[in-house]
Amino acid sequence: MTKPSVSSKEIIKKMSLKEKIGQMTQLPPNFYLGRTKVEVSGTQRNLNLNEEQVYTAGSILGIGGPGEMIELQKMYLDNATHEVPLLFMADVIHGYKTIFPVPIALASSFNPNIPFLAGRISAKEAYTAGIHIVFSPMCDLTRDPRWGRVVEGFGEDVYLAGEMVKAMVKGYTNNGLFGEGTVATCIKHFAGYGASEGGRDYNTVDLSRLSLHRDYLPAYKKGLDAGADLVMTSFNTLDGVPATINPFLLKTVLRDKWLSKAITIADYDALNQVVTHGAAKDQVEAAIKGLRAGLDIEMASSVYMNQLEMLVDEGVVKEDEIDRVVERIIDLKIKLGLFTNPYSGADAKKEEELVLSKDHLDKAKIAALESTVLLENNGVLPLNKNVKIALIGPYASSRSVIGPWSWHGKHDYHTSLAEAFMNNLTFVSNKTSIEDYSQEELELINSADVCLLALGEDASLSGEAHSRSDIHLPDNQEDFYHSIRQVAKSLVVLVFGGRPMLLAGLKSADAMMMCWFLGSSSSEAIHDLLFGLVSPSGKLPMSFPRNVGQIPVYYNHFNTGRPYQENSYNMYLSKYLDVENSPLYPFGYGLSYGEFRYDNLQLSSEIITEKDTLKVQVDLYNNSDFSCYEVVQLYIRDYVADIVRPVKELKKFKKIWIAGKTKKTVDFELLKDDLEYYNQDGLTVLESGKIAVFVGGSSDNCLKADFEFDTGE
Ligand code: BGC
């Protein structure tokens, strides 16, 4: 971290009101460099800004590389009437040029070292482009796979998501050390965006305060505690008030409860959009509401720039209110070294050396290996090294495997499956309709030992503004699967995509692997996994539903007063008439080439108090010859509480390396903090009572033991 030789107070003293207000606006680079390719996720409107205003803006959204950053910063400083350099922020979500697995895949690793690594390498590369702040990680809890943005998050569980967020923030900032090869982080989208009704992006969010405090807020808090410097507000309303101008979120929770000094920034054009929401009658009211709620920076809109000066002149807003915000912004610029070197980081030579270097690609491969989830396997996998493969389907020779939100990633850099499996292929085709295959081609598929069918969604079907109401595989791929099932002797399905999809129709495959989008080293990792050089070890961070009508379906639900029981005489139970309650694949599920058996679950005591630690032990046997990772998961259930507790809650997990034909004893500790819960006021509650501990390799398959917790009251 750079030692401040200047103070924000002194800098502010030298600035005019207009210059200070400018700091509160972020603009895309094309306001300066007309030719730049702009990273915009919204529509570009005319912001009605004059040149003088443009040279007061405090930060830039998105950048093309080091050359562009240096040129822009120089042009800005030459033309500005003040001396405050621009901050450069960008959507580096799962890699700058070396692309890591998409966040939902990173979460599947159940290994915080993986998002840490993704953050670390992304930061090293982004730094060379002159990027100071990344808009990542996304902390939004996701329970609805129709929502396209589930790809950017860490799934349905509050604990897993929080651990992933924490690790990624630490990776970007190098454990908060900052300096060379690091970036600051802006966590997003505060708050509750993942609960958009019907999974439709930008839609209404109607969340209970209980669920908000218990499920949705903790991951943002963990991001802040891990050292995030900014918080982006979400597009949605909460309690009818857009998050961008929501005093409960920005003041009561962020400042008063969490005591956070993080800078708040609106999402793209969101301050302007509060008028469209119907929460402000015009931009004047939007400016007042934004400032009063605690919104520091607006992104790609000009509400503050065009209204605040007048509001100060009229005495509606005090200049002090603006100074307090600008002080925070300048402090961050000082912390990131901009007053020592406004071009900090940007270095074309370094960029060339680092991006897509062997080391970075190797690390992306490690991440890809751990992020893939094996869903089915009747023994066909791992493949024998001399196997003859027919590789077909839309992803057979496609290099588009890096997924959405990889602005700087380029498909051409990467190897396709056809290239990675070259030595074993007898036939390759991208065609996805059985009618398009000749008799001769079908015979080739049939004569191969294994048919590898690479199906899935295109990257453009998930991400922002890409919600789907039907989450089957697109383009009749399921029909294609059924036709090929008749032809292929042995069928292994690879599924690419950014969300849990409906895969029940594919269960007759001999093996099925959820590949998500694995990034730059996707094909190499899939090769090694299928041939058993490494065993799959990913577990699902989101339940895969049986049909869309089940959504939301998540493992940590309540019991209800009428829980479903098989073969009950009572028909008035909580169930559907046409589908089971359980998902197709539950949270925490994922197969391995190891054969695991859990045994001998032991608790150190039958009763503990607030001061005690409960030690939990389990024996894990690997009965196969494969040495591999297993994710050991610990859940609890608090049977009785003033506020009903979920039937299971993940409290700990460990990714354990276990050699073939060995046993390992795995330990966990539970403390009082693990037994506390949030009530609807966001207060933590601790009650006496009986608690179950579950340990196993999936949320639906665990050993169980009970203990008593005694608060002494
Ligand atoms: C997205 C954000 C993103 C921002 C800047 C918005 O539309 O919601 O996640 O960081 O654009 O590109």
Reduce the DSSP state of residue 522 to 3 states and report it.
helix
pLDDT exceeds cutoff 50 at 2:
no
pLDDT at 34: 73
Q: Mean of the pLDDT values across residues 41-56?
A: 80
The whole model's pTM is what?
Answer: 0.97
Distance CA(679)–CA(578), nearest Å, equals 34
User: How many residues in the chain?
Assistant: 713
Look-up of token digits 């809109």: 301
**288-309: average pLDDT:** 98
Give the distance (Å) from ligand 1 centre to CA of residue 271.
Answer: 13
pLDDT digits (tens, 9 = 90+) for 161-172: 999 999 999 999
Handedness of CA 582, 585, 587, 589 (dihedral sign): positive
Q: Is 314 exposed, middle or buried (0-12, 13-18, 19+ CB in 10 A)?
A: exposed
Active site residue 267: yes
Residue 590 to residues 252, 326, 555, 696, 698, Cα–Cα distance (Å): 40, 48, 15, 12, 7
pLDDT at 311 over 70: yes
190 lines ligand 1 (CB under 6 A): no
Is residue 35's pLDDT more than 60?
no
Ligand 1 centroid to residue 235 C-alpha, Å: 10
Q: Does the CB atom of residue 188 touch ligand 1 within 6 A?
A: yes
> What does the pLDDT look like over 134-180, one tens digit per residue?
999 999 999 999 999 999 999 999 999 999 999 999 999 999 999 99
Is the shortest distance between the CB of 135 and ligand 1 below 6 Å? yes
For residue 232, the CA-to-ligand 1 centroid distance in Å is: 9
- Cα–Cα distance between 329 and 445 in angstroms, integer? 61
Q: Read off the pLDDT of residues 495-538 as tens digits, 9 standing for 90 and up.
A: 999 999 999 999 999 999 999 999 999 999 999 999 999 999 99
Does the beta carbon of 41 lie inside 6 Å of ligand 1? yes
Contact between 267 and 189 under an 8 Å Cβ cutoff? The reply is yes
Residue 138 CA, closest ligand 1 atom number:
9
What atom in ligand 1 is closest to the CA of residue 235? 8
What pLDDT digit, counting tens, does each position of 401-438 carry?
899 998 888 877 889 999 999 999 999 999 999 999 99
Q: pLDDT tens-digit profile of 596-615? A: 999 999 999 999 999 999 99
Return the pLDDT at 400: 87
Displacement of CA 694 from its chain's centroid (Å): 26
Q: Is residue 64's pLDDT more than 90?
A: no
- In angstroms, how far is CA 275 from the centroid of its own chain? 29
Single out the catalytic residue among 91, 144, 229, 267.
267
pLDDT of residue 407: 86
Q: Is 201 in the pocket of ligand 1 (CB under 6 A)?
A: no
Tell how far the Cα of 121 is from the centroid of ligand 1, in angstroms: 21
pLDDT of 616 over the 80 cut: yes
Identify each DSSP E strand in 407-483 by its residue range.
425-429, 450-456
Q: Which pLDDT score, from 0 to 100, does residue 412 have?
A: 76
Please compute the mean of the pLDDT values over residues 92-114 and round it to a whole number: 98
pLDDT-based confidence at 120, cuts 50/70/90?
Answer: very high
Pocket test for ligand 1, best of 87, 464, 466 (most atoms within 8 A of CB): 464
